[in-house]
Amino acid sequence: MKYSNEKIVKALLLSPLPLLFFTAVLFIVMNQEYSLYSILVVLVGHGLVYLAYCILTVPFSFIFSILLNRYNSLNLLTICIASIIIATPFFILFGWSHTGEISKEWWKMYTDTWTIFMALFPGLCYWLFLIRAC
């Protein structure tokens, strides 16, 4: 199935929002911080993560999607493979920003179930937004 560029961009921009929403709610509930200031700080922090997502991953995801769409191969499997490929440098940069060094065995990050979930869930949401937009 062919998708328009507008639908691809719209789905790409909406895809991380469910994961960001759930992580924000989980962060607020787990820390038991229910004041308005704490909630606003969490929302601003997640907004910055969304901005980083838009700057760092959307252009590459758009290129992958356009190429796959051109050959009628934009489906759930290829979207999940592309989301893992694109998430790898993002997770490496994320780890580097928190520790100041790149792990020697960076490929072992995918032995953690949560890392796989965080890489595949936006891909699944992207596919759902893409098929719902048509």
CB 60 within 8 A of CB 86: yes
pLDDT band at 133 (very low <50, low <70, confident <90, very high): low
| Residue range 29-65, pLDDT digits in tens | 999 988 999 999 999 999 999 998 999 889 999 999 9
Work out whether the CA dihedral 106, 112, 115, 117 comes out positive or negative: positive
What distance in Å separates the CA atoms of residue 126 and residue 124, rounded to the nearest whole number?
5
Q: Name the pTM for this structure.
A: 0.87
Domain locations in the chain as residue ranges: 5-133
